[in-house]
Amino acid sequence: MDTQENRGRELIQNICLYLAPLMAAAVHGLLERETLQTLFSNVFFMVLLSSGYLLFLRTSGRVFYRRIRSQGIFWGCFMLSFLFLGICPVRNMGVLWLLVVAFAAMEAGLELAASLHVLLMTGYVILVLMEGGDLYAFAVATLFGFLLATLFSLYRMKEATVYLAVILMAVDGVLQLVRYRLNMHVLRVHAVQIAVEMVGILAMVFLGYCYLRYLGSRNLAMGKEEAAMASAGGSPGGEDGKGVPVQEMDKGPGVPGEEDRPLEQVSERESLERVLEEEFSLAVELREYSGDLYRHSCRVSDLAGRAADAIGADGLLAKAGGLYHEMGRMAESGNYVEAGEALGEEYSFPERLQSVIRQHSPNYEIPDSPEAAVVMLSDCILSTSDYLKKSGMREKLTDEKLVHNVIQNRLSKGNLKDSGMTVDQLEALQAYFTAHAFEKGDGR
């Protein structure tokens, strides 16, 4: 099912990658009343542009549609951006043709946003610059687009909304002054155009705020349900009313149960449940290797599992990731994260669990899921608290302040920018950690 779904998404990607630039060329041609020869040339170059970008994605391994949770919104923004690109040389659309750059930055990070910006700017060259467009306008759009991608990739907290809008408008204002060579007469002539750009900036910031505030949690929850269904090997028609896969029901005599099969032959959920058993061989090995490491891992596991459940993420995945996040230390040599990854492969851990284990250490790889972010933060909060206790400074810092400092530190370093967590989830996570991270007990 996962393969079929990925193939379906790839088909949608390919269709949109060709359709959107062709639509931009067609709309531009109609508005400009171009000759058939010019229209044909633009269409030809747009096809080459789409083919080149698709080749870039495939050869570099950046199959980005798998990182986008809100597929419908993303491709809608993609189509709108190219539509606005086709219109903007004739009708002033401000910066709205960069809409997909802002959304991609929030959804999947700076790399995807930057590549889409290059794609759009190349389309701009074909439709505008090659037909006598202003080089200064091209330079302004290029610089502003990269700034837009960078700032929106860091946009995770609603408190930053006003700052984001002010910075973008201020930078655009400076760029416009440079574009028109500080000529006040020319600036007055183009005052309406500049005002439309400012309104477009405010509109994008507002749409970004609305997405983070109202749609992010819902889309994430839907994605988790689909992922859980796919990993369980079931479908809406293949489960009973309680969500139990059909193949797990009515097992006949002599048929081996799930507990007798290797991890790679069972569903992801069954794998996670089995690795969390106290007598699972790797858990026993971890316990025998170091009691202190095992107790710390259990505490992180328990806290991460409960915290993930509290924000609507996959608590079972976070719990398993917390238990084995530092299992690579048993290797006692080399990079413990890489050693843990090798152990996970040896024991056939599910890929999502492998990712959470790798990403608990942002120095190695930053989290790309809420579960990985929760494990990273749980580990950091508990480790920081333990360190302060040993140094005799823990009492000088309230629970709320400690949690706040840890989360803000990770935000400032960009460790949470690809985690997919919404503003509401971050706020709920901070509140949950403050209330429950320092409760007594080892959590197992």
pLDDT in tens, 174-209: 988 888 888 888 888 888 888 888 999 999 999 988
Q: Please say whether the beta carbons of 316 and 273 come within 8 A.
A: yes
Whether the predicted model's global pTM rises above the 0.85 cut = no
Nearest alpha carbon to residue 95 among 19, 209, 175: 175
pLDDT of residue 353: 94
Q: Please say whether the beta carbons of 328 and 337 come within 8 A.
A: yes
On the CB side of 434, CA atoms within 13 Å amount to 15
| Spatial distance between the Cα atoms of 98 and 135, rounded to a whole number of angstroms | 18
pLDDT of residue 166: 94
Q: Please say whether the beta carbons of 380 and 430 come within 8 A.
A: no
pLDDT of residue 237: 36
Q: Please say whether the beta carbons of 354 and 339 come within 8 A.
A: no
**Chain-centre distance for alpha carbon 38:** 40
Core vs surface per residue 85-123: b (16+ CB within 10 A) or e:
bbbbbeebbbbbbbbbbbbbbbbbbbbbbbbbbbbbbbb
Nearest alpha carbon to residue 443 among 317, 297, 326, 321: 297
Q: 245 phi and psi, to 5 degrees?
A: -55, 145
How many residues are given for the chain? 444
Nearest alpha carbon to residue 283 among 314, 316, 320, 332: 320
| Spatial distance between the Cα atoms of 421 and 417, rounded to a whole number of angstroms | 8
Q: What is the largest CA-CA distance in the chain?
A: 89
Helix pair 336-346, 351-358: axis angle to 10 deg: 170
> What pLDDT digit, counting tens, does each position of 135-183 carry?
888 888 899 999 999 998 888 677 788 999 999 999 988 988 888 888 8
Place of tokens 């750009």: 197
Q: Which domains does the chain have, with CATH numbers?
A: 2-229 (no CATH), 268-436 (1.10.3210)
CA distances from 258 to 261, 270, 443 (A): 5, 8, 27
Per-residue pLDDT of the chain (444 residues; tens, 9 = 90+): 344 555 666 777 788 889 999 999 999 888 888 888 888 898 999 999 999 888 877 665 444 555 566 778 888 999 999 999 988 877 777 888 899 999 988 877 787 888 899 999 999 888 887 776 678 888 888 999 999 999 988 886 777 889 999 999 999 889 888 888 888 888 888 888 888 889 999 999 999 888 877 665 444 444 444 434 333 443 333 333 333 333 333 333 333 344 445 676 678 888 899 999 988 999 999 999 899 999 999 999 999 999 999 999 999 999 999 999 999 999 876 788 888 888 998 888 999 999 999 999 888 889 999 999 999 999 999 999 999 999 889 988 899 999 999 999 999 888 999 998 988 899 999 999 999 998 764 333
What is the distance between the terminal CA atoms of the chain, rounded to a whole angstrom?
A: 35
**Could you write out the three-class secondary structure of the chain?**
CHHHHHHHHHHHHHHHHHHHHHHHHHHHHHHHCCCHHHHHHHHHHHHHHHHHHHHHHHHHCCCHHHHCCCHHHHHHHHHHHHHHHHHCCCCCCCCHHHHHHHHHHHHHCHHHHHHHHHHHHHHHHHHCHHHCCCHHHHHHHHHHHHHHHHHHHCCCCHHHHHHHHHHHHHHHHHHHHHHCCCCHHHHHHCHHHHHHHHHHHHHHHHHHHHHHHHHHHHHHHHHHHHHHHHHCCCCHHHECCCCCEHHHCCCCCCCCCHHHCCHHHCCHHHHHHHHCCCCCHHHHHHHHHCHHHHHHHHHHHHHHHHHHHHCCCCHHHHHHHHHHCCHHHHHCCCCHHHHHHHHHHHCCCCHHHHHHHHCCCCCCCCCCCHHHHHHHHHHHHHHHHHHHHHCCCHHHCCHHHHHHHHHHHHHHCCCCCCCCCCHHHHHHHHHHHHHHCCCCCCCC
| Spatial distance between the Cα atoms of 326 and 344, rounded to a whole number of angstroms | 11
